[in-house]
Structure 1
Amino acid sequence: MSQQPHIIEPAVPATRCVIWLHGLGADCFDFVPVVEALGLPPNHGIRFVFPQAPTRPVTINGGFPMPCWYDILGMSPARAINQAHMDEAVAMLKGLVADQQAKGIMPDQVILAGFSQGGAVVISTAVLSRLPLAGVMALSTYGPDLDKLLQSTPQTSSLSVFCAHGRGDEVLPISMGREAHDLLLAAGHSTQWHDYPMAHEVCPQEIADIRQWLTARFEL
């Protein structure tokens, strides 16, 4: 994962950060338009960091190489994944949080966001790192082995999690997103559930809801 993230600096010195992971087959520019669409206050002070996943063969896509955070070996049981790749992605994301801390932005001013496969990495990282994050955005995603992760990793602080999913999602059924939400809620985390009449994508109402949640978490 050597490629540097795409970074959008705010108009004023950064005091907060959102690290946003794209989905399978996309790139680090995929969610850049959403930043403008959020319509944040002009002096929001949020640095947006968009990492790029490495390109490698994806088993469920016939071994065709594409950007992915981890290989997906099969659709069942519940998306069998390459755990070594996931561990690598989690380490990368934890490193990016540490980079922000070195620049003066503490974890409690960092939100981890991810769409689809990127969201799975974000959820795993948030649980495993036990960092006091400002929040987690889990968009059209799921939690691979999340029940086991929560059982084996005692949580030292409650995460604030924004979960969003399309009711017509044929890539990741809404049931998988709801299961992740319910597991996090049962583990004592503060969760919000939002579903929309959309497929595996992002819609305007979701962006409006993200804006509301984001500005509340960062007290803008």
Structure 2
Amino acid sequence: MSDSLLPFVEVNPSQDADACVIWMHGLGDSGHGFAPIVSQLALPQSHRIRFIFPHAPERPVTINGGMRMRAWYDIKSLDFNSRADVTGVVESSAQVRRLIEKQITNGIPANRILLAGFSQGGVIALHEGTRFNQSLAGIMALSTYMCEPEKLAGEAHAANKQTPIFVAHGEQDEVVPAFLGNTAFKVLKENGYNCTWHTYNMQHNVCMAEINDISAFINRVLPLQ
């Protein structure tokens, strides 16, 4: 695993940033995939949020015949209990942690940083967000699931126990069935996390109703200062 920072797409506000959203894409996508969503979020014109969309490393993905593509971890099986390669999840989480720490070094405090992810990226957002040792502004887990939920209680850091967590899923999702997202939500709830569950009439994607709710969540946890 390289110690260098992950490459990323950066979308900066018109003024100096005082907050940051780090948003991880899904399997086979790149940071460019979600970057256009910033203009759809209808944030206040004077917002000072920097958006960072990192590119996952390229790696062979077993279920895709070993084809190399951007992936936060390998998927060796479609079995729901062993879908995520844990070693890859831990390595990618460490790389995302370095992105968070870089923003902190650059003057944006942890409590003004929101971690977000879609599908595979959401697995990383949940994994790192619950284990990070400083309180974050929020976590968004979109159309995703939790890696090794049984280990959450033993590995989580108390710093983000009260951090707002937005868990959302499409009711018609055939790639990551909604019950997997709901299971992650229930595990968070059972462990005392401050999380909410949202469903939408969509498949494995985002829709305008969800984007509107994401906008409201971002505005709530990263208010103008």
The TM-score range, normalised by the shorter chain, is over 0.9
Distance 1:211 1:154, change over 3 A: closer
> Is 1:185–2:201 an aligned residue pair?
no
CA RMSD of aligned residues (A): 1.4
Which amino acid is 2:209 matched to? Q
Percent identity between the aligned chains?
A: 40
Match of 1:205 in 2: 209
Instruction: Please state how far the C-alpha of 1:51 moved relative to its aligned partner.
Output: 0.4
Out of 154, 160, 169, which is 2:164 matched to? 160
> Is 1:52–2:34 an aligned residue pair?
no
CA distance in 1, matches of 2:85, 2:190: 27
CA distance in 2, matches of 1:88, 1:22: 16
Match of 1:62 in 2: 65
1:62-84 Cα deviation digits (max 9, x unpaired): 11111100001111152433222
TM-score (norm. length: structure 2):
0.94
Distance 1:212 1:45, change over 3 A: same
Match of 1:219 in 2: 223
> Is 1:172–2:176 an aligned residue pair?
yes
TM-score (norm. length: structure 1):
0.96
CA distance in 1, matches of 2:20, 2:89: 23
Asked if structure 2 preserves the Cα contact closer than 8 Å seen for 1:124 and 1:146, the reply is no
Aligned residue pairs total 220
1:65-124 Cα deviation digits (max 9, x unpaired): 111000011111524332221111011111011000011101100000000000000100
Instruction: Please state how far the C-alpha of 1:166 moved relative to its aligned partner.
Output: 0.1
- Counterpart secondary structure, 1:80: coil
What are the ranges of 5 or more consecutive residues in structure 2 without an aligned counterpart? none
Instruction: Please state how far the C-alpha of 1:150 moved relative to its aligned partner.
Output: 2.4
